[in-house]
Structure 1
Amino acid sequence: MNPFDGKIILGETRPVEIHLPANYDSKIAHPLLVFLHGYRSTALEHQTYFNLGPKASENGFVYLYPEGIKNVQSERYWKATDACCDFAGMGLDDVGYLRDLIRQVKSRVNIDDDKVFLMGHSNGGFMTYRMACEHPELFAGVISASGLTWLDNAKCKKTGKPLNILHIHSVDDQLALYEGGIFLKNPFPSAEQTVATWQTNIGCTNTNLAATGNTYDFTDEVSGIETTEYSDDGASCPANASITFWKLVDAIHTPVYNQAFAQEIFDWCMAHYRV
């Protein structure tokens, strides 16, 4: 089945389409990637921007990209941490929405529980970390691009659960500052503090990361190699837990990623299934 034929629509107030891979077989349990867009953006805009759909299909992933709700300015957002991005105080339960959405997907499509991943950019990345705090049992791994975690880690409700984490951030991010910052009087941690916090949260004893030797050219907006990979040593984390950090230089908050980036996202997911 072509992933963009035979639509399966979930939800009523926020309908979302399930995209099936070209090789979808209902008798086989497939991996799932859910992608969350950024503040003031839309699911479709971020699908165009990240363009993960073709690689999702090629790699056999079920893929969906839900919409955040609109605030009073008609800007879509996710209620993630206190820093981002429920600025109007609408108080929606996006955690419950996403939890139930994943359950609905599993009721309609054959999904492998050990191969479920959540990814978000910016506000979507903040929301990804919130879901990791409250429902780590749902995911083999989470990926945050330019999104940070709670500054006060006491607000992360379920620490000590094994989880694979991929954090993606540019040292030159002009919005979600690499060194941390403030959104409307609400502070957020640095990228390095976020990574260190999550090493502790998932039960790793080593809070340092080392360069793996892998470097990448993920965006044509920067000449040459702009991304360096860092990781824990593996031995310091429990089973099914790890931290990987892709650190970019000279890239903005919203770099235009290429298909090498998209493929590496799915390669990382496939290397981090729960066992």
Structure 2
Amino acid sequence: MIRAFTLAAGLTVAGQAGWAACADQEDMCETASGGYHIELPEADNPPLVVFLHGYGGSATGTLKNRNMVEPLLARGYAVMAPEGSERNGRQSWNFFPGWEGRDETAFLTEAVQDASTRFGVDADRVVLGGFSAGAFMVYYLACAAPDTFSAYVPVSGGFWRPHPEGCDGPVRMLHTHGWTDNVVPLEGRILGGGRFHQGDIFAGLEIWRVANECVDTKPSGFSTTGQFMRRRWTGCAEGGMLEFALFPGGHTVPKGWADMMMDWYEGLPGG
């Protein structure tokens, strides 16, 4: 059974698509810096997946992706969908160093603490994921403050150019990306008439290997899980784990990602 707090007169309905609010409120949970929606499993002190929407998306839209949300709930994870801040008239994330706007690391930390107080989620077992611009945010937060959350699971996003000179570490990361993604291509692309340049995903993986003090650039293992072709680096500093999963599709959160990600997370030390 799933506790999905809906907007319909505050009724509690199992499995409602994308309309979770904030328990006894008809609107989203509000903190000092922003808001979020949350859905809870029938479990005490559950781990939490925080998933950030893409550019122009919304917290409500995140929870409408039931192929992602329902497997997480079924396996005992709470799911939080924070609301991005406004950038150029659209909801997104203030991810790039030097941009003006909301301190997103402070906001996300605040939201998790709020959910821990209100709903009893386990603030020590929080996985931060995101799609597209949400994945950009995951990358930059993990780079600057890797100890903020227990693991990072970006989908279809990475660094922008110029790539960071380096990141703090170690970090536990599973990056998932589509082979035919043409919105955030593996090689990156130029945006805004040359004002911005998405980075190279493989160059980003090199930055993470350095941050994790991996002993070799060569992957230490390969596997195939359903449609996901995976490569991992395990000979790294204590507390570091890096894995890259390619799938044959484009710019999307692929079906099966939630279970693949949870299997990975639960296989980590302390996961």
- TM-score in terms of structure 2 length: 0.81
The number of residue pairs the alignment matches comes to 249
Equivalent residues of 1:140, 1:273 under 8 A apart: no
Q: Which residue of 2 aligns with 1:170?
A: 178
Note closer, same or farther for the CA distance 1:128–1:39 as it changes in structure 2 (3 Å cut). same
Task: Specify the alignment match of 2:135 in structure 1.
Answer: 125
Instruction: Pick from 265, 270, 273 the counterpart of residue 266 of structure 2.
Output: 270
**Range 48-57 or range 196-205, more displaced:** 48-57
Equivalent in the alignment of 1:245: 244
| Change in CA separation of 1:211 and 1:48 when aligned onto 2, cut-off 3 Å | farther
Moved over 6 A (4+): none
Do 2:31 and 2:110's aligned partners in 1 also have CA atoms closer than 8 Å? no
User: After superposition, where does 1:178-197 map in structure 2 within 5 Å?
Assistant: 178-184=186-192, 185-197=195-207
Give the match for residue 53 of structure 2: 37
In 2: Cα distance, 1:237 partner to 1:111 partner: 30
Q: Does residue 21 of structure 1 match 2:31? A: no
In structure 1, C-alpha distance between the alignment counterparts of 2:179 and 2:54, rounded to whole Å: 19
Amino acid at match of 1:69: S
Which residue is equivalent to 1:80?
A: 95
Offset from partner CA, 1:46-81 (integer Å, 9 cap, x none): 3323632211221111210111122342x1110112
CA shift, 1:202, in A, is 2.4
Amino-acid identity (%): 24
Q: Matched residues in 2 for 1:205 and 1:179: separation?
A: 25
One-letter amino acid of the counterpart of residue 252, structure 1: G
Q: State the shift of 1:150 in Å.
A: 4.7
Alignment RMSD: 2.5
Please list every run of 5 or more consecutive structure 2 residues that lacks an aligned counterpart in the other structure: 6-11, 13-21, 24-28
Tell me: CA distance 1:90–1:137, structure 2 relative to 1, closer, same or farther (3 Å): closer
Change in CA separation of 1:46 and 1:20 when aligned onto 2, cut-off 3 Å: closer
Distance 2:139 2:239 in 1: 17
- Aligned counterparts of 1:134 and 1:91: Cα–Cα separation in 2: 17
Q: CA deviation at 1:99?
A: 2.1
Further displaced range: 1-10 or 127-136: 1-10
2:216 is equivalent to residue 216 of structure 1: no
Per the alignment, residue 200 of structure 1 pairs with 210
Alpha-carbon separation, structure 2, partners of 1:10 and 1:107: 13
Q: Is the 8 A contact 1:176 1:253 kept in 2?
A: yes
Residue pair 1:166, 1:245 contacting (<8 A) in 2 also: yes
1:19-56 superposed Cα distances (whole Å, 9 cap, x missing partner): 2112x22xxx4211100000011122233236322112
TM-superposition CA deviations, 1:163-186 (whole Å, max 9, x none):
211111123211111112222222
